[in-house]
Amino acid sequence: MADQPLVYIVVLNYNGYQDTLECLESLEKLSYGNFRVVVADNCSTDASESLIRAGYPGHSFIQTGKNLGYAGGNNAGIRLALEHQADYVCLLNNDTTITPEFLEPLVNWMEQDKITGIVGPKVCDYYDKNIIQATGSRANLFFGKFYQLNGGKNKDEIKGVFEVDYVAGSCLLVRSELISKIGFIPEEYFLFFEETEWCLKFKRAGYKVMCLCESVIYHKGSKSTEKVDGIQEYYMCRNSIIFEKRNANKVQWTIFYLYKLYRMALSLAKGRITGNLNQNMLKGFRDGIGYRKSA
């Protein structure tokens, strides 16, 4: 409907056309009237581009030309949305499916509360749809701890709307007019922590980050990343340090750094991390301290 705010939904794909096609199929049932879908592809090497273009020719398709990570790929979609004067941009992971009514409550909240910069839905488990993955998160910069709120609880147990430190990058709605003021998603991370810092930047600029439990999506992510591989271990270690260096104050950084050294030494002493994981963690620590770009 033309009288509704225009929402651009950005779906990022990298060698994941099965998930992406399922996500796009679920968007066909979306009850919100005034939206456009943009698929940003991070230079997939599988059949993603041809299959997605053929299956959904009405959607915009951006080929980034290289793997730009979560931030770079989504930023490409955000730029297109801004070029088309979108009122809001919804970032939606390709490994999600939506409920038909998920978007209206998010847009309505933003229209009513102009001080909210970002709002996210209640994220539930794709494989057990009655279980919550997260209703936003809290960040402790003293120890580099990040807490997903209400994870594991029954979906119907948690209701309402509340302010959080950040919402899941799997789905968030951002007010377009603020992006030129706050900036795009930081691209220094490549994997992990991008949306965390972005949300904190909105909060520090005086805007709220909210979770609205009336809106629900389903996410596969936590299941698919239970087994941490070497690449993930590297980026988790590296980016936790970069995040603290960019966002913590001097006291928080000092406590975090000492705690990080203690935890690493303890893990190594107990033999919890061996072989390639050991090397990836140490490389991540080195690159984080040196603030090097990933190899």
DSSP for 50-94, please give it.
Answer: HHHHHH-TTSEEEE-SS--HHHHHHHHHHHHHHHTT-SEEEEEET
> Among residues 103, 124, 201, 109, which one has the least CA distance to residue 162?
109
Q: What's the whole-number mean pLDDT along residues 129-154?
A: 97
Assess whether pLDDT exceeds 50 at residue 227.
no
Assess whether pLDDT exceeds 60 at residue 183.
yes
- From 85-99, 154-168, 192-206, 264-278, the region with the lowest mean pLDDT: 264-278
Assess whether pLDDT exceeds 70 at residue 218.
yes
Assess whether pLDDT exceeds 50 at residue 131.
yes
User: What band does 216 get if pLDDT is binned at 50, 70 and 90?
Assistant: very high
User: What band does 175 get if pLDDT is binned at 50, 70 and 90?
Assistant: very high
Assess whether pLDDT exceeds 60 at residue 273.
no
**pLDDT value at position 92?**
99
State phi, psi for 131 to the nearest 5 degrees: -110, 135
Cβ neighbours of 188 (radius 10 Å): 16
What does the mean pLDDT of the chain come to? Answer: 93
Residues 6+ apart with CB under 8 A from 237: 280, 281, 284, 285, 288
3 state DSSP class of 126: coil
**pLDDT value at position 274?**
57
Classify residue 247 by burial, with Cβ atoms within 10 Å: 0-12, 13-18, 19+.
middle
d(CA 187, CA 54): 30
d(CA 87, CA 217): 21
Amino acid code (one letter) for 154? N
User: What band does 53 get if pLDDT is binned at 50, 70 and 90?
Assistant: very high
Assess whether pLDDT exceeds 80 at residue 81.
yes
Classify residue 270 by burial, with Cβ atoms within 10 Å: 0-12, 13-18, 19+.
exposed
The full length of the chain comes to 295
Give tens-digit pLDDT for 4-14. 999 999 999 99
d(CA 132, CA 156): 9
- The answer to whether 137 and 166 are in contact (CB under 8 A) is yes
**Proportion of the chain above pLDDT 90, given as a percent:** 84
Under CATH, what is the fold of the domain 7-223?
A: Spore Coat Polysaccharide Biosynthesis Protein SpsA; Chain A (3.90.550)
